[in-house]
Copies of this chain bind each other. A is one copy, B any other.
Amino acid sequence: MKRHAFLIQSPMMKPLNLDWRIVLVRPRNPLNVGAVARAMANFGMRDLVVVAPYEPVWQEARSAVGAEAVLQSARAVPSLLEAVGDCMLVVGTTAGSRRSLDRDLLPLSDFPAWLRRRQPRGRAAFLFGSEKTGLSNEHLSYCHVLVRIPTAAGCPSMNLGQAVAVCTYELARAGAIPSRPPRLTVHRADPASVQPLDHLFERAVRVLDQVGYLKPKTRKAMLRKLRRLLLELELTNQDARILGAVLAQIEWGLARKTGVRSQESE
């Protein structure tokens, strides 16, 4: 009878089945890139992707004496979308001081509980901005959730390598880093990753442009909100396919109507 006690787990205790990737957007200091790789190795992470690095920074980081295996197998990609396209979950990080954001920031220590409630599966990315500027609002619009490290008001901004160390420590502390990468089995609910959602987004933008919904002044902010909305809907791949077909149909209808109008005005 006692053996069963181990099988009956509370929802809080379900193991998290996530394959973590650390994504650095345009880091400026090769030493920081090396420090990030070291922290990842310390806490059992392997997958490092660097977005649009300055070429000398990237070369210096990779050729550093004693560079971690993590760094040797790290990839550089030109855009954030390429870094997170296959991810089911994208987590943005931001300094505690930024107040202009129009959504809540989760304190890092509350993030494991959030994860256990959501039970995401598959690949997940933890995003860190460049040392000077952090993540832009454009970058943040790719994120499902934002976390902040609760730093002191007088000195809120952390060193990049230390920020990654603290975040990976918190994940390891919560048992959210598997000792080996989990097999990426297809989940029954089949949630959509970032890439198909981005296709959907592009299609929606074309439609909104055709109907003249996007005004030049607010266009950028509106697009960021739209992308975030798409993430927050937690669409499955089937949802994404259906919505994509609906949008394609609307595009076709709009083109036809424009055509009809053109004929009428002739």
User: Which residues from chain A sit less than 8 Å from chain B, CB to CB?
Assistant: 31, 35, 38-39, 41-44, 68, 109, 149-152, 154-159, 161-162, 165-166, 169-170, 172-173
Contacts and interface: CB of A to CB of B under 8 A. Distances in A.
A42 B156 contact: yes
A68 B161 CA distance: 17
A170 B165 CA distance: 12
A41 B173 contact: no
B159 A35 contact: yes
A151 B109 contact: no
A159 B161 contact: yes
Contacts of A38: 155, 158-159, 162
A39 B173 contact: no
Given A31-B31, A41-B152, A42-B151, A165 B158 contact: yes
Contact of A173 (B109, B157, B161): B109
B44 A152 contact: yes
Given A35-B159, A109-B173, A42 B152 contact: yes
B161 A43 contact: no
Contact of A155 (B31, B42, B161, B166): B42
Contacts of A159: 35, 38-39, 161, 165
8 contacts: A38-B159, A41-B155, A42-B149, A44-B154, A109-B173, A158-B165, A159-B161, A165-B165
Given A149-B169, A161-B161, A162-B162, A154 B41 contact: yes
A109 B109 CA distance: 12
Contacts of A154: 41, 44
A238 to B, nearest CB: 38
A179 to B, nearest CB: 8
Contact of A162 (B39, B68, B109): B39
